[in-house]
């Protein structure tokens, strides 16, 4: 909200304040944050009024004029080149002199334009910051003195403060409201104008309230003989200074009243009202209402409207109707100053996309006791500006059911709550400066807020009034004491979960991967490229690109890969190594709907995604750097699970049926499934060559994703417990096995572990070989079995027996033979 320093000064004496900056500081310290301070003449310091003496065409350019300009003060005439055509000899115009820096940032320097010297610039309204756009240069009124500063000519001597008002302080949405705060801070009186006493009689139009408590009061006044015309200069200047456009004297009067008193008011053409009555009621569903902005809305039956005896004439609190608006020929008017339910106004304004200065004020609540004075002020303004005469008023009011809210608190509470040591006397004087009624009984305080302070309802609200008046700086600084034992972190499943997630991030970073954060939403099209469909759609996305909550982290991960690929150039190989730990989302049912207070029907599961591409080493000679492949990625996952000490995660090779959703994602011969028990929990592998070519990836990508929830539950919370190792020697046996190509080596390992129990402790694949002399379709696999026993030295015979059993099982299960 824009506030004029001069206007505030009319309401409260600012002579004790060292200018606008000091006022801004005072307001900010009281919770009315001043965002900017703008002097009206900022950028106009070197702009003067000047008169055009000669105007010729530029010899080199038809669209330019060469002017001789009198800068006043007896100085020499200046040559100016000008691109506009709307001026003539004798006009007084705004001249930006050499060295000026205009409000739009333009710097004026001595220059040559197409060979002609220009000693300044003639300015347009937009260049002067008066308008966003403008045609031609600004022509000042004919009798404007020449050689004056433009700011003086236009009376631009005010300073405008932009205040960011919080949602609770509707009472400050006016100059009077701000002035009240200043007066309280300075302990000075408020200078209110003398206002005509409103009489609720003599109006030919009566007022009826038909919406009960939703529209509890309406003050109307009938005025005759008004003359609609442009507003006087002072009023135009004042409204323009706070960013409002002057329309005519009647509209300006109502706006002026709103920005001065905070009451949104409306002026009807009384001759367009039928039936001698104004009613406030609910709209009829389907009814159409033309609005004064030229549009038309179809009402729903919910919003409050104003109607006369025959028709609806306004959308209450939002906008007047086009069928009763003031025009140039208006003679008689009816003034409205009323109160409408904040929520109904808010909904109507949103529904029809017509939030306005008026609706904003109704939404935040209007002083229920101020209407009489406000409409009196409006009557005075219309009388003064439009020569209207008030024939009388009519008012209707539903008595307030609840009386004024009184809060009982104590000095002890307020000091304890704030941690302060303020005397009760000081408290009383502070609350009185805010126009609260105070009844003190020793330490006890009975407090009643002024009618306009709708936000003061609780003792905590008064604590804030006290705190902001003494200043937050005056509150001491203490550290709260721990009462009782801190909550135990042991055996808390959520704590364990958080710890595992932290560990996962640490381990993956130590494995040389960069943690990435991608958006939780992607487009439907992008997800479909990966064969995915989201079950959680955002109803109001910023764009289709961000329309769906992700069912997997992989699509976002691939975007991150492409981002790195996009800006990569040169001969250095691109290395991309990323991981992400974030939840994915799925809806339990077709439609997402809240159940009770805390159930959303959307499931969030924490996942980890991984991506590797490029050289194996960050730095090494070319011959040694290598390229990451499937086994680098597999190593990362194995290292992760090993360091977490996760138990019971199994792997399974590329059975495409089991790979399910991953079919499109991974090379079927270079992918591995992980499972917890029978449930698959994720996959890793090389990106499917088809996807690789569809996405035009420049190099192979190895990626994967694991559901972290089962990993978390299979990860022990228990500390590592030491295990002693066997002191007896181990026995090793190496085997060269001939099997069909396609037998998974891991299956041979698992078989040997099982059949070699309990002494075959470690099984290692150390070599594979294909080609002559190994027959076509076969592969030779080198396996080492390490036998040991914790309690004794193994006997040769025992190892032989076990070894035979292992080999027999290999033969039975996989058709393996020893080479």
Partner 1 sequence: MSVHLEIEEKGKSALVRIEQAGNLEELDACRVSALGKKGALSEALKQLGQVPPEERPKLGALANEWKARLEAAIEARKSLLEEKKIEEDLKKTRIDVTLPARKVHRGSLHPITATIRKISETLGRIGFDVTTGPEVETDFMNFEAVNIPKDHPARDMQDTFFLGPGVVLRSQTSPVQMRTMREQGWPVRILCPGAVYRCDSDATHSPMFHQIEGLWVDRKVSMADLKGVLDFFAKETFGSQVKVRLRPSYFPFVEPGAEVDVSCAICAGRNPHCPVCKGTGWLEILGAGMVHPRLFELAGYQPHEVSGFAFGMGVERIAMLLHDIPDLRLMFQGDQRFLGQF
**DSSP string for 755-794:** HTTTTEEEEEEEEEE-STTSPTTEEEEEEEEEE--SSSPP
Note whether 578 binds partner 1 by CB under 8 A: yes
> Of 652-691, which residues contact partner 1 (CB under 8 A)?
none
Shortest distance in whole angstroms from residue 615 CB to partner 1: 9
- Pick the closer one to partner 1 by CB: 154 or 454: 454
Show contacts with partner 1 in window 322-381 (CB under 8 A). 342-343, 346-347, 363-364
Peptide bond into 718 cis (omega under 30): no
400: which residues sit within 8 A by CB, 6+ positions away?
216, 368
**Shortest distance, CB of residue 680 to partner 1, whole angstroms?**
24
Of the candidates 766, 759, 814, the residue with the CA atom closest to the CA atom of residue 789:
759
Q: Which among 276, 255, 279, 274 has a CA at the least distance from the CA of 266? A: 255
The reply to whether 458 sits near partner 1 by the rule CB under 8 A is yes
**Site size toward partner 1, by CB under 8 A:** 102
Provide φ and ψ at 92, rounded to 5°.
-95, 130
Tell me if 766 sits within 8 A of 737, measured CB to CB. Answer: no
Question: Per CB under 8 A, which of residues 515..544 are in contact with partner 1?
Answer: 515-521, 536-542
- The correct pick among 277, 398, 602, 736 for binding partner 1 (CB under 8 A) is 602
When asked if residue 419 is in the footprint of partner 1 (CB under 8 A), the reply is: yes
CB of 579 to partner 1, least distance (A): 8
Choice between 575 and 788, CB closer to partner 1: 575
Taking the C-alpha atoms of residue 104 and residue 93, their distance in angstroms, rounded to an integer, is 18
Q: Which of 353, 476, 727, 773 binds partner 1 (CB under 8 A)?
A: 476
Indicate which single residue of 40, 575, 609, 646 sits in contact with partner 1 (rule: CB under 8 A). Answer: 575
**For 21, which DSSP code?**
H
State the minimum distance, in angstroms, from the CB of residue 420 to partner 1. 7
**Residues 535-540: contacts with CB within 8 Å, 24+ apart?**
535/585, 535/586, 535/587, 536/585, 536/586, 536/587, 536/592, 536/602
168 counts as binding partner 1 under rule CB under 8 A: yes
CB of 319 to partner 1, least distance (A): 19
Smallest separation, CB 602 to partner 1 (Å): 4
Cα torsion 160, 166, 167, 173: sign? negative
Applying CB under 8 A, does 479 fall inside the site for partner 1?
Answer: yes
- Whether the CB-CB separation of 231 and 385 falls below 8 Å is answered with yes
Closest CB to partner 1 among residues 122, 418: 418
Binding to partner 1 by residue 489, rule CB under 8 A? Answer: yes
Segment contacting partner 1 by CB under 8 A, of 61-69, 172-180, 308-316, 617-625: 617-625
- Residue range at the interface with partner 1 (CB under 8 A); choices 118-126, 183-191, 294-302, 582-590: 582-590
Residue among 81, 100, 449, 576 that touches partner 1 (CB under 8 A): 576
The reply to whether 426 sits near partner 1 by the rule CB under 8 A is no
Would you say 231 or 518 has its CB closer to partner 1? 518
- CA 695 from chain center: how many Å? 33
Q: Interface residues for partner 1 in 278-297 (CB under 8 A)? A: none
Show the tokens assigned to 324: 């009763």
Choice between 589 and 818, CB closer to partner 1: 589
- Residue of 75, 472, 770, 800 interacting with partner 1 (CB under 8 A): 472
Is residue 491 a contact residue for partner 1 (CB under 8 A)?
A: no
Give the separation between CA 95 and CA 88, rounded to whole angstroms.
15
267: contact with partner 1 by CB under 8 A: no
Residue 268 Cβ, how far from partner 1 at the closest point, in Å? 28
Nearest to 215 by CA among 98, 315, 304, 101: 304
Rounded CA gap, 281 and 302, in Å? 10
Q: Which stretch binds partner 1 (CB under 8 A): 104-112, 175-183, 507-515, 764-772?
A: 507-515
**Residue 31 in the binding site for partner 1 (CB under 8 A):** yes
The interface region with partner 1, picked from 263-271, 444-452, 590-598, 710-718 by CB under 8 A, is 590-598
Interaction between residue 624 and partner 1 (CB under 8 A): yes
Angle between helices 249-261 and 233-241 (to 10 degrees): 50
Closer by beta carbon to partner 1, 518 or else 552: 518
User: 593 CB contacts (<8 Å, ≥6 apart)?
Assistant: 601
The closest alpha carbon to 609, from 557, 565, 664, 652, belongs to 557
- Encoding tokens for residue 567? 């800006």
Among 6, 13, 29, 322, binds partner 1 (CB under 8 A): 29
Taking CA 779 as the corner, what is the angle to CA 776 and CA 783, rounded to the nearest 5 degrees? 160
- In the list 73, 399, 403, 486, the residue contacting partner 1 (rule: CB under 8 A) is 486
Instruction: Note whether 618 binds partner 1 by CB under 8 A.
Output: yes
Minimum gap (Å) between residue 453 Cβ and partner 1: 13
149 phi, psi to nearest 5 deg: -65, 135
SS3 122: strand
Residue 713 CA: distances (Å) to CA of 500, 647, 709? 9, 9, 7
State the greatest distance between any 2 C-alpha atoms of the chain, in Å, as a whole number: 125
**Closer of 30 and 686 to partner 1 (Cβ):** 30
Region binding partner 1 by CB under 8 A among candidate stretches 426-434, 587-595, 723-731, 763-771: 587-595
155: contact with partner 1 by CB under 8 A: no
- Give backbone dihedrals phi and psi of 80, rounded to 5 degrees, phi first: -130, 135
Strands 444-448 and 437-441, bridge-based pairing: antiparallel
CA distance 257 to 264: 8
Report if residue 600 touches partner 1, rule: CB under 8 A.
yes
- Using the structure block, give the residue that is written with the tokens 């409306």: 266
Considering Cα of 346, then 349, then 355, then 358, what sign does the dihedral take?
Answer: negative
The reply to whether 572 sits near partner 1 by the rule CB under 8 A is: no
Q: For partner 1, which residue of 192, 327, 426, 510 counts as binding (CB under 8 A)?
A: 510
Q: Which is nearer to partner 1, 387 or 446 (by Cβ)?
A: 446
Among 129, 368, 531, 583, which residue interacts with partner 1 (rule: CB under 8 A)?
A: 583
Question: Does 386 contact partner 1 by CB under 8 A?
Answer: no
* Residue given tokens 């721990």 in the structure block: 482
Q: CB under 8 A: which stretch of 9-17, 256-264, 593-601, 668-676 binds partner 1?
A: 593-601
Q: Is 42 in the site for partner 1 (CB under 8 A)?
A: no
In the list 594, 775, 808, 818, the residue contacting partner 1 (rule: CB under 8 A) is: 594
Rounded to the nearest 5 degrees, what angle is found at the Cα of 499, between the Cα atoms of 559 and 504? 35
Q: Is 818 in the site for partner 1 (CB under 8 A)?
A: no
List, in sequence order, every beta strand (DSSP E) within 196-254. 206-209, 217-224
Asked if 89 interacts with partner 1 (CB under 8 A), we say no
CB 391 within 8 A of CB 203: yes
Give the nearest distance from C-beta 415 to partner 1 in angstroms: 9
Instruction: Show the CA angle centred on residue 50, arms to residues 45 and 54, nearest 5°.
Output: 145
Residue 364 vs 377, nearer CB to partner 1: 364
Q: Is 593 in the site for partner 1 (CB under 8 A)?
A: yes
Does position 416 interact with partner 1 (CB under 8 A)? The reply is: yes
> Does 546 participate in binding partner 1 (rule CB under 8 A)?
yes
**Cβ burial, residue 601 (10 Å; 0-12/13-18/19+):** middle
513 binds partner 1 (CB under 8 A): yes
Q: How near is the Cβ of 559 to partner 1 at its closest, in Å?
A: 7
Which 3 state secondary structure label does DSSP give 339?
Answer: strand
Q: What angle do CA 146, 147, 150 make, to 5 degrees?
A: 90
């Amino acid at each position: 909200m824009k506030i004029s320093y001069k206007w505030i000064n009319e309401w409260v004496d600012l002579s004790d304040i060292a200018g606008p900056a000091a006022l801004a500081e005072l307001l900010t310290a009281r919770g009315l944050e001043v965002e900017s301070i703008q002097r009206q003449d900022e950028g106009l310091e070197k702009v003067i009024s000047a008169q055009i003496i000669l105007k010729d065409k530029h010899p080199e350019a038809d669209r330019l004029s060469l002017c001789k300009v009198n800068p006043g003060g007896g100085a020499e005439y200046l040559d100016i080149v000008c691109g506009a055509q709307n001026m003539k000899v004798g006009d007084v115009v705004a001249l930006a002199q050499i060295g000026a820096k205009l409000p739009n940032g333009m710097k004026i320097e001595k220059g040559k334009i197409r060979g002609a010297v220009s000693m300044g610039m003639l300015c347009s309204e937009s260049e002067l910051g008066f308008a966003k756009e403008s045609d031609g240069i600004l022509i000042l009124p004919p009798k404007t003195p020449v050689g004056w500063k433009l700011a003086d000519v236009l009376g631009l001597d005010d300073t405008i403060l932009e205040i960011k008002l919080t949602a609770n302080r509707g009472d400050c949405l006016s100059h009077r409201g701000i002035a009240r705060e200043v007066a309280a801070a300075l302990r000075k009186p408020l200078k209110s104008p003398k206002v005509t006493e409103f009489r609720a009689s003599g109006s030919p139009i009566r007022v009826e309230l038909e919406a009960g408590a939703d529209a509890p009061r309406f003050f109307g006044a009938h005025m005759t003989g008004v003359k609609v015309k442009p507003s006087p200069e002072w009023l135009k200047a004042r409204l323009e200074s706070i960013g409002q456009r002057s329309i005519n004297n009647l509209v300006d009067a109502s706006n002026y009243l709103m920005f001065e008193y905070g009451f949104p008011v409306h002026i009807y053409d009384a001759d367009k009202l039928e039936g001698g009555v104004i009613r406030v009621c609910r709209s009829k569903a389907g009814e159409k209402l033309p609005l004064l902005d030229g549009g038309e809305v179809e009402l729903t039956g919910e919003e409050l409207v104003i109607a006369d005896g025959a028709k609806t004439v306004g959308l209450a609190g939002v906008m007047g109707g086009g069928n009763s608006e003031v025009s140039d020929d208006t003679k008689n008017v009816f003034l409205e100053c009323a109160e409408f339910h904040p929520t109904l106004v808010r909904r109507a304004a949103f529904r029809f996309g017509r939030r306005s200065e008026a609706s904003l004020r109704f939404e935040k609540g209007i002083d229920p006791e101020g209407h009489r004075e406000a409409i009196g002020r409006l009557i005075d303004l219309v009388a003064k500006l439009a020569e209207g005469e008030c024939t009388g008023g009519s008012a209707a009011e539903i008595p307030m059911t609840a009386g004024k809210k009184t809060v009982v608190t104590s000095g002890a509470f307020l000091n304890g709550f704030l941690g302060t040591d303020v005397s009760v006397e000081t408290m009383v004087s502070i609350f009185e400066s805010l126009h609260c009624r105070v009844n003190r009984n020793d330490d006890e305080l009975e407090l009643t807020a002024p009618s306009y302070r709708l936000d003061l309802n609780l003792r905590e609200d008064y604590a804030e009034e006290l705190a902001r008046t003494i200043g937050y700086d005056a509150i001491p600084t203490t550290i709260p004491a721990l009462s009782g034992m801190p909550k135990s972190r042991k055996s808390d499943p959520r704590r364990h979960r958080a710890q595992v997630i932290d560990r996962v991030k640490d381990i993956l970073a130590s494995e040389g991967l960069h943690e990435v954060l991608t958006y939780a939403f992607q487009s439907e099209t992008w997800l479909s490229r990966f064969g995915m469909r989201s079950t959680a759609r955002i109803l109001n996305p910023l764009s289709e690109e961000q329309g769906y909550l992700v069912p997997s982290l992989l699509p976002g991960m691939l975007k991150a890969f492409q981002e790195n690929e996009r800006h990569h150039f040169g001969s250095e190989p691109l290395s991309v190594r990323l991981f992400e730990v974030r939840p994915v989302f799925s809806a339990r049912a077709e439609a997402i709907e809240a159940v009770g207070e805390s159930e959303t029907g959307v499931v969030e599961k924490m996942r980890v995604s991984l991506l590797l591409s490029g050289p194996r080493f960050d730095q090494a000679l070319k011959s040694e750097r290598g390229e990451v492949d499937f086994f680098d990625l597999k190593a990362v996952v194995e290292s992760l699970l090993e360091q977490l000490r996760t138990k019971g995660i199994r792997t399974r090779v590329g059975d495409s049926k089991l790979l399910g959703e991953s079919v499109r994602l991974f090379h079927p011969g270079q992918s591995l499934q992980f499972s917890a028990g029978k449930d698959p929990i994720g996959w890793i592998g090389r990106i499917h060559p088809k996807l690789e070519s569809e996405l035009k990836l420049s190099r192979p990508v190895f990626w994967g994703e694991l559901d972290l929830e089962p990993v978390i539950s299979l990860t022990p919370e228990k500390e590592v417990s030491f295990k002693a190792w066997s002191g007896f020697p181990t026995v090793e046996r190496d085997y060269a096995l001939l099997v069909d190509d396609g037998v998974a080596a891991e299956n041979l390992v698992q078989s040997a572990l099982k059949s070699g129990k309990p002494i075959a402790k470690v099984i290692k694949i150390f070599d594979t070989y294909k080609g002559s002399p190994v027959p076509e379709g076969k592969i030779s696999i080198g396996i080492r079995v390490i036998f040991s026993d914790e309690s004794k030295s193994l006997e040769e015979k025992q190892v032989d027996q076990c070894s035979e059993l292992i080999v027999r099982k290999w033969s039975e299960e996989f058709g393996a033979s020893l080479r």
